[in-house]
Amino acid sequence: MRERHNRLAVVKELIKNNRIDNQDMLLEMLRVEGYSVTQATLSRDLKMLKVGKISDGWSGYYYSLPDSDLVSESEKSYIQDVRRGILSIEFSGNFGVIKTRPGHANSVGIALDILAIPEILGTLAGDDTIFIILREGMSKEDLQESFKTRIPDIEE
């Protein structure tokens, strides 16, 4: 799990300090830095980091990180909904049960959907319980790492 956190930091630095036009170029740069990842893993990393492609105006597109100030106020409020609402998370395979404070399951489920946590395929919320399904190949540990990155200080 720590490797993923470190890899995300390296991806940020590479994008910040280089003009990177495609994933193949980024994969090669990661290999030079000592990280061997698949294209699918890199795609999830880019989505998690909210990396976009922007036009240079004349010869093509390149990867760009969002400004840290661009985290919208609404996204911050969704993060707060998750932090306030979750009491516990338990898993059986790729199925998870999130226990929330009474009446918070719907707002936490909506927040998780809007935040687009890449490990989560979908949510189903009741009053104080949310069922989540992890994407194929994802684990509880992968989700916990995403939470640490996207929703710091979450009480699990």
Do 52 and 18 lie in one domain? The reply is yes
Q: What is the CATH number of the domain that holds 104?
A: 3.30.1360.40
Residue 155 domain-assigned (yes or no): no
Average pLDDT value for the chain: 86
Q: Both 80 and 136 in a single domain?
A: yes
Which DSSP state fits 98? E
Q: pLDDT at position 49, please?
A: 85
**β pairing state of 129-134 and 120-125:** antiparallel
Domain count along the chain:
2
d(CA 116, CA 119): 9
**Tens digits of residue pLDDT in 103-148:** 999 999 998 988 888 889 999 999 999 999 998 888 888 888 888 8
Q: Where do runs of H (alpha helix) occur along the chain?
A: 2-17, 23-32, 39-48, 73-85, 105-115, 140-150
User: What percent of the chain has pLDDT above 70?
Assistant: 92
- Which among 66, 83, 117 is the end of a domain? 66
95 vs 117, higher pLDDT: 95
Task: Let me know whether 44 and 108 are in one domain.
Answer: no
Examine the domain organization and report whether 120 and 83 are in the same domain.
Answer: yes
Phi-psi region of 112 (alpha: psi -120 to 50; beta: other; left: phi over 0): alpha
> Residue 69: its pLDDT value, please?
46
